[in-house]
Chains A and B, each alone.
Chain A
């Protein structure tokens, strides 16, 4: 009798260990495409949880991630989402510091990231690998040629789509008359002295504004697509600094100080200190109206020079200990239902990251039924006027140049 029990015990342990071994997530194996999606999902359930690091300064974003997305992740896959609010600079610093200290297993699994920050993380070998192609939703709803270009840089699938951003401006129709292009902006600031400003680069949004000024004052953005051309840049960029220095005395606080972030800029707009706001999300204005932060008379507007458009992504860190769960998270984020929920300005108001033309008809219907609100400009209108982000080296050069030529006067 005793022998039998012992035997069963040993078998049980063996089965347990073997199952664990089978289910245990072999990151390298997965990366080489040798695991099926079902195996990955099962391994993810074993892992049980995943951390998601990203900017946490928007209550409505936090609520959508925790209450909607986290719930979906838990209900569909049995994975607990741990959202950690942190600014991207601090996240990257942390990953760098961990790498410096030789930490093999870190607590950061997934990160909300794009652009220069992604490039830095990628070049510093902080990221896991080319995982995007492992995700069913990526293969279904994304065109790699478009989805992989992040600020003119091929991300090699090291990140997977999260949202699409379309840069728009906002104003209160009850108080202000907006402007149609950068020439009219010059007249606007002179007429409405102290009622316009932009956040100081290297803030993401202020940088985007200055980039648009750059394209506008140098005769268009097409010439700058492609690799970084230093001579051409230095030859033409002075027009940008001249423009920005010319409007500086007419800015908020006479340009003696700039808001250090777009959040501060939006706060100035909300509190009535300036008349124009800007945001990378074309749904932001409507979302703020829904939240009661700005009056219902506010509307979005765009400039003749075009709508700056880019994507932001999710990436998986190299020293994550929950890579399977991270894959499931990244995949779920590209689920059409999730993206449509994210689009709704009543729930969050954030652009669709996957390719709309690849959606099945039932999702297209759902999409068209989302009420974007009266303050939002229609998506196809914005898409038609899209201009794309330049190579990140231009961004660096423009940010540095702004500090040297405008901030330091």
Chain B
């Protein structure tokens, strides 16, 4: 009996790696990649339900020839990059500021800054609509004060080409997210090195510039990576407060998908695959470029 148990133990030890990875691969591997495979097949024209059995690249060709989809890609990239940059800058500043606070202010700040993280995007979207829409609360207050007379005099924040509404929603949600991560990096990662630097005689500002900042850069970069990835593929926000046409790639893909005419579905799948490939490429290069900063941590 004991020998049996020992054999099992040895087996587990030997194959610890694949066994350990098994559960998560079942979910991520099977479901996730399975789902993608289904999409890939449909995008290549394999759609037996409506009689398409020919593998073809014509849907991809259609997409490349569609100038509106190029515009949509540009729009998507724009609303992926700008809020990420803004959020990163603001979050770094905020993380430092909150870190330097004391006592109760610090506690309150900690709490408030985390609130948007716990609340769904839809709430953030709704908040921006209610507050900053042309008929939102701010506009109404201004109208009551006589500053504007009709709604069109208030800036076009929602549904606009400049996507300010979308950016505002993303900032509301992502600045807290990044600030929390950067701040916690500040606390945990820097401590030992900061102490060493102090004993070596560096003053506060030197410690900050030469020790703290390089140490938190990995955290900043990897969280900005996450934020960028999310913004690129996001659906709810552009769908509700984006401009009508052409909207972002995920929204346009969904519109095609939900078209009653099933003929559009392979094209929708092709769009979805292209979005996936695009985000993978962008993020691969992004990840590579921050590789060199990671060595500091390890």
Contact = CB atoms under 8 A, between A and B. Distances in A.
Q: CB atoms of A and B under 8 A apart anywhere in the complex?
A: yes
Interface of A: 89-90, 92-93, 96, 99-100, 116-117, 120, 194, 200, 253, 256-260, 268, 271-273, 407-408
Interface stretch (B105-113, B152-160, B166-174, B185-193): B152-160
A407 B260 contact: no
Contacts of A408: 68, 245
A260 B259 CA distance: 14
B33 interface: no
Contact of B244 (A99, A116, A257): A257
Contact of A257 (B151, B152, B243): B243
A271 to B, nearest CB: 4
Contacts of A100: 49
Contacts of A273: 134-135, 151-152
Contacts of A90: 258
Contact of A116 (B150, B245, B260, B262): B260
A258 B152 contact: no
A260 B135 contact: no
A328 B166 CA distance: 47
Interface in B11-49: 49
Interface residues of B, number: 20
Interface in B119-140: 133-135
Contacts of B258: 89-90, 93
B245 A407 contact: yes
28 contacts: A89-B258, A89-B259, A90-B258, A92-B260, A93-B258, A93-B260, A96-B49, A99-B49, A116-B260, A120-B260, A120-B261, A194-B152, A200-B244, A253-B156, A253-B159, A253-B160, A256-B160, A257-B159, A257-B243, A257-B245, A259-B244, A260-B244, A271-B135, A271-B151, A272-B135, A272-B151, A273-B134, A408-B68
B284 to A, nearest CB: 33
Contacts of A117: 260
A89 B260 contact: yes
B159 to A, nearest CB: 5
B161 interface: yes
Interface of B: 49, 68, 133-135, 150-152, 156, 159-161, 243-245, 258-262
B262 A96 contact: yes
Contacts of B135: 268, 271-273
Contacts of A260: 244
A51 B134 CA distance: 40
Nearest to A96: B262
Nearest to A120: B260
Given A90-B258, A96-B262, A200-B244, 4 more contacts: A89-B258, A92-B260, A100-B49, A257-B245
Given A100-B49, A194-B152, A272-B151, A256 B243 contact: yes
Give me the 5 closest cross-chain CB pairs, A-B, nearest first: A271-B135, A100-B49, A257-B244, A273-B151, A257-B243
Contacts of B159: 253, 257
Contacts of A253: 156, 159-160
A102 B243 CA distance: 38
A268 B136 CA distance: 11
Contact of A256 (B49, B150, B161, B262): B161
A273 to B, nearest CB: 4
A92 B257 CA distance: 12
A258 B244 contact: yes
A253 B154 CA distance: 12
A271 B244 contact: no
A380 to B, nearest CB: 35
B260 A271 contact: no
Contacts of A256: 160-161, 243
Contacts of B262: 96
Contacts of A120: 260-261
Nearest to B261: A120
A100 B49 CA distance: 6
A310 B42 CA distance: 37
Contacts of A194: 152
Nearest to B134: A273
A90 B255 CA distance: 11
A204 B116 CA distance: 36
A271 B129 CA distance: 11
A117 B134 CA distance: 34
Nearest to A90: B258
Contact of B160 (A200, A257, A271, A272): A257
A93 B265 CA distance: 11
Nearest to A121: B260
A28 to B, nearest CB: 25
A147 B261 CA distance: 26
Nearest to B247: A260
Contacts of B160: 253, 256-257
Contacts of B68: 408
Nearest to B161: A256
* Most chain B C-beta atoms within 10 Å of own C-beta, residue among A99, A256, A257: A257
A116 B260 CA distance: 9
Contacts of A272: 135, 150-151
A356 to B, nearest CB: 32
B141 to A, nearest CB: 14
Contacts of B134: 273
A381 to B, nearest CB: 33
A258 B247 CA distance: 12
Nearest to A275: B150
A70 B90 CA distance: 53
Most buried by A among B152, B156, B260, B262: B260
A194 B259 CA distance: 30
A408 B245 CA distance: 8
Contacts of B260: 89, 92-93, 116-117, 120
Nearest to B242: A257
Contacts of A116: 260
Nearest to A119: B260
A152 to B, nearest CB: 17
Contacts of A99: 49
A271 B133 contact: yes
A90 B259 CA distance: 9
